[in-house]
Amino acid sequence: MSWNKQLTKLNSILAELYPIKDQSYRIVDMAGIPAAHVAFKDSAMDNWYYILKEADKRGKTEDLVQVVLEQFPDREDLKNIFVAATERKPLQPVENTYLYTLKAMLKKGDTVKAVDEFEKVAKEISDDLHNSAIMQSARLNRARNDRRDGLISVENYNLTVNQVNHAMLQLIDSVPEEEQLNASRSIIRNTENNLATPPIEDLEKIIGRDELMDINWLQKAIQASRSVCKVKVSTTGYIGTGFMLRGGYLLTNNHVIETADQAANAKIIFNFQRDMNDQVQPVTAYTLDASFFVASPPTAFDYVLVKVNDQDGKLAEWGYLELEKFMDAQTDERVNIIQHPEGKSMKIALPDKIISKWKQYLFYLADTKGGSSGSPVFNQDWKVIALHHAGKNEQSSGGGLQINEAGDVRPSNRGILIKNILADIKSKGDFAAIVDGF
């Protein structure tokens, strides 16, 4: 059974009844769902989404509902939820015009509008198709921005548009007829031929997974940003990003700080950002204690752990980031990245999806630039799950990064999983106490 509206309702009910993560452990156990296979989350809606996803996969949704009913026997919405959740409406025959309309737009040269529209219908068909549509949209937008800023010629801009146009036509031709029909059913009413106001029950909806966030999510982002810093190596001129861990340690990439000698000639800069009035804020800089220097090369785990000199006695005021040492990151979860792209003022890449996890690597679509190396990759609970270190897009050599054992190549950014980094630090000597303290 695939996710549907009734399971979304069940997700909401369970988040209301059991808003605290610890409360859900017992329910999962009583329903016969292996807790080790559930990605428990602090956010109630996210927590129950992943519990229900695992329950659905194992055919345990009814068992879970029955366990909850034993505690809440008067909940009428729960008594009928399983039948409703497993009920699937048959496809209604619809006239398939949507993709053909987009194809006609592309053939007429209306590429910009067609690409924007295709993202909507691709989302209704498959994640792979939607990701491809996003990539083509991003490619086109970059070309438009570069042309606006005078960074590329008209000829190169037109070449990119033609390439995107051709790629979009190929994507449309790759969609099976049945999937076109499925997508058209939910998209067709939004076309220019049907602009009527939808019924009242259709005015607000969760699209895909529930990604509504409490407003304190923004406050947590601001708090996390205090522990992120710009890294500047004077001997090489290299600029990157780093972040503080408990105990006064800096974590960044080895390709940012390659040696202990470079660390001795580096500095880290906090609060390099602009305020709400676009005014540059006062910064605080620290040097590094190169006598404590633990590293792994870029070909392995690409990290450096180095002690920070607390020369003003106020280093602790910048805090430290929490690491996710228990839960594994999952494909389609979202990540955020706080960074100093191009060595400029601090920026944040807003939530974008994880597309793969392979070996020690995590692959995601969140944006970065040169200078973002060493940035913390956060989950939606603002815990660090990876150390950003590389990325390739369509214009890069090879057209992207290999993201799995099968050899698939996709435009993406890549980080080193924090669990692997911690394990490697422990393997290099008697650092267990330090790592356990993070």
Q: Is the pLDDT of residue 3 over 70?
A: no
The whole-number pLDDT of residue 95 equals: 39
The whole-number pLDDT of residue 222 equals: 95
Mean pLDDT, residues 196-216 taken together: 61
- In the chain, pLDDT over 70 holds for what percent of residues? 85
Q: Is the pLDDT of residue 278 over 50?
A: yes
Mean pLDDT of the chain: 84
Mean pLDDT, residues 87-108 taken together: 55
Q: Please write the tens of the pLDDT for every residue from 299-351.
A: 999 999 999 999 999 999 999 999 998 888 888 899 999 999 999 999 999 88
Q: Is the pLDDT of residue 109 over 80?
A: no
Which among 73, 77, 76, 13 has a CA at the least distance from the CA of 45? 13
The whole-number pLDDT of residue 253 equals: 97
3-state secondary structure of 219: helix
In this structure, what is the dihedral angle of CA atoms 365, 371, 229, 363, given to the nearest 10 degrees? 20
Are 404 and 270 within 8 A, CB to CB?
A: no
Q: Is the pLDDT of residue 237 over 60?
A: yes
Report how far residue 63's alpha carbon sits from residue 67's, in angstroms, rounded to the nearest whole number. 6
Choose the weakest-confidence range: 80-94, 198-212, 308-322.
Answer: 80-94
Instruction: Choose the most confident range, by mean pLDDT, from 128-142, 158-172, 257-271.
Output: 257-271
The radius of gyration of the chain from alpha carbons, rounded to an integer in Å, stands at 25
Q: Alpha carbon 336 to chain centroid distance?
A: 6
- Predicted confidence band of residue 1 (pLDDT cuts 50, 70, 90): very low
The whole-number pLDDT of residue 190 equals: 46
- Predicted confidence band of residue 191 (pLDDT cuts 50, 70, 90): very low
- Nearest 5°: the CA angle 411, 415, 418 is 155
Q: Is the pLDDT of residue 174 over 90?
A: no
Report how far residue 355's alpha carbon sits from residue 128's, in angstroms, rounded to the nearest whole number. 9
Are 256 and 231 within 8 A, CB to CB?
A: yes
Mean pLDDT, residues 418-432 taken together: 91
Q: Which token pair is 262? A: 């470079």
Choose the weakest-confidence range: 12-21, 65-74, 102-111, 270-279.
Answer: 102-111
Q: Is the pLDDT of residue 120 over 80?
A: no
Q: How far is CA 177 from CA 172, 181, 193, 210, 416, in A?
A: 10, 6, 22, 29, 40
Burial class (CB in 10 A: 0-12, 13-18, 19+), 149: exposed
Report how far residue 136's alpha carbon sits from residue 39's, in angstroms, rounded to the nearest whole number. 31
The whole-number pLDDT of residue 400 equals: 92
The whole-number pLDDT of residue 117 equals: 72
The whole-number pLDDT of residue 114 equals: 76
- Nearest 5°: the CA angle 197, 202, 207 is 120
- How is residue 150 annotated by DSSP? T
DSSP 46-113: HHHHHHHHHHHHHT-HHHHHHHHHHH-TT-HHHHTHHHHHH--PPPPP----HHHHHHHHHHTT-HHH
List, in order, residues 6 or more apart from 345 with CB less than 8 Å away.
Answer: 272, 273, 274, 280
Q: Please write the tens of the pLDDT for every residue from 18-63.
A: 888 888 888 888 888 888 888 888 888 889 988 988 888 888 888 8
